[in-house]
């Protein structure tokens, strides 16, 4: 307990000792994972949309929404410097004047962050200087999700423009496109197979007037190299908001607007589903 508004983002550090959360109550909070004790409270002027630990767990970043007359910012705090936490002053704050950040992750070696914007742009920001290192726009609408590959050399984006795209983490070079006929809310890369899973569905406001078949709420599997769809999994009765692979690549989980989290186990070699939870 602690937040007084919707919690938009959660991240754990590498050894799962600490958890970072961002909320619509205009705060980012650091917690002890074992006891649930709040360790730090960082107040902001608007809702915290994304947050994350760097690879070593020493630096945190979070982005705030553009709302109530305040612009979007990305803030960086060094947890090894208690004065930054006590004064609520980050060691670096990057303004995002044009469009707000809707998804962000740390890049390879913690040298940068990769941010997706409401406009469909992707930016790579230096974690040392704050400058924009690379800027690309391959999506035409909002980027809802960014997830890295296990080795952090690639990442996949999910967008409202009905596509998910694969990029190089260092250069942001566009590699592959996975096309659907509905907004994509989340996409994940298998840790050890050439699989990409996509989750989405129509806009939430239209769900009550649409059947599950028309809404297309299945999780959809694509081959990473040839960009072709090879499987669909039904189950949810509303749009899928998030997907994630198990580290062994033999199961995945999905969370939906229908209030369910579903875990599917399957044989990746033959794509035969064994059971779901």
Q: In what order do the strands lie in the sheet with 184-189?
A: 184-189, 195-200, 219-223, 229-233
What's the pLDDT band for 202 if we cut at 50, 70, 90? confident
Q: What is the pLDDT of residues 121-166, one digit of tens each?
A: 999 999 999 999 999 999 999 999 999 999 999 999 999 999 999 9
Average pLDDT over residues 18-30: 95
User: Which is more confident, 171 or 267?
Assistant: 171
Q: Measure the CA–CA gap between 15 and 236, rounded to whole angstroms.
A: 32
pLDDT of 99 reads 85
Average pLDDT over residues 194-222: 75
Give 214's contacts (C-beta < 8 A, 6+ positions apart). none
Give the helix/strand (H/E) hosting 214: helix 212-215
pLDDT of 204 reads 56
Q: Measure the CA–CA gap between 56 and 75, rounded to whole angstroms.
A: 17
What's the pLDDT band for 212 if we cut at 50, 70, 90? very low
Quote the pTM value: 0.89
Give 219's contacts (C-beta < 8 A, 6+ positions apart). 197, 198, 199, 232, 233, 235, 236, 240, 243, 252, 254, 264
Decide: 12 and 21 in contact? Cβ < 8 Å.
Answer: no
31 to each of 2, 62, 197, how far by Cα in Å? 10, 15, 30
Q: What is the mean pLDDT of the chain?
A: 90
What's the pLDDT band for 24 if we cut at 50, 70, 90? very high
pLDDT of 221 reads 93
Give the helix/strand (H/E) hosting 84: helix 82-87
**Domains (ranges, CATH) in the chain?**
144-276 (2.130.10.10)
Q: What percent of the chain has a predicted confidence (pLDDT) above 90?
A: 76
Q: Tokens 């960086």: give the residue.
A: 76
176 to each of 66, 105, 156, 247, how far by Cα in Å? 31, 19, 9, 23
What's the pLDDT band for 83 if we cut at 50, 70, 90? very high
Average pLDDT over residues 48-73: 90
Give 99's contacts (C-beta < 8 A, 6+ positions apart). 66, 72, 117, 118, 119, 121
Average pLDDT over residues 70-96: 92
* b/e sequence 203-234, b meaning 16+ C-beta within 10 Å: eeeebeeeebeebbbbbbbbbbeeeeeebebe
Tokens (6 digits) for 193: 């197979």
Tokens (6 digits) for 54: 């760097």
Q: Tokens 């599917």: give the residue.
A: 264
Q: What percent of the chain has a predicted confidence (pLDDT) above 70?
A: 92
pLDDT of 224 reads 94
User: In this model, does residue 91 exceed pLDDT 60?
Assistant: yes
pLDDT of 125 reads 94
Return the closest-CA partner of residue 203 out of 131, 266, 141: 141
């Amino acid at each position: 307990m602690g937040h007084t508004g919707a919690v938009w983002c959660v991240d754990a550090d590498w050894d799962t000792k600490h958890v970072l959360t961002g909320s619509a109550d205009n705060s980012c909070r650091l917690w002890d994972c074992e006891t649930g004790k709040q360790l730090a409270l960082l107040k902001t002027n608007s809702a915290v949309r994304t947050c994350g630990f760097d690879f070593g767990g020493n630096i945190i970043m979070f982005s705030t929404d553009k709302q109530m007359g305040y612009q979007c910012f990305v803030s960086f705090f060094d947890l090894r410097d208690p004065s930054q936490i006590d004064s609520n002053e980050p060691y670096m704050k990057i303004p995002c004047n044009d469009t707000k950040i809707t998804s962000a992750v740390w890049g390879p070696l913690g040298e940068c962050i990769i941010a997706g914007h409401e406009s469909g742009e992707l930016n790579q920001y230096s974690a040392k200087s704050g400058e924009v290192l690379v800027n690309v726009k391959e999506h035409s609408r909002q980027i809802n999700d960014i997830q890295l590959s296990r080795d952090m050399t690639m990442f996949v984006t999910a967008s409202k423009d009905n596509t998910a795209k694969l990029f190089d983490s260092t250069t942001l070079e566009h590699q592959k496109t996975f096309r659907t006929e509905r907004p994509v809310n989340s996409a994940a890369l298998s840790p050890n197979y050439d699989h990409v899973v996509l989750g989405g569905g129509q806009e939430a406001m239209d769900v009550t007037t649409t059947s599950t078949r028309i809404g297309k709420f299945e999780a959809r599997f694509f081959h990473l190299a040839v960009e072709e769809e090879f499987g669909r999994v039904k189950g949810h009765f509303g749009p899928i908001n998030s997907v994630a692979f198990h580290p062994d690549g033999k199961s995945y989980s999905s969370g939906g607007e229908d209030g369910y989290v579903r875990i599917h186990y399957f044989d990746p070699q033959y794509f035969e589903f064994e059971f779901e939870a």
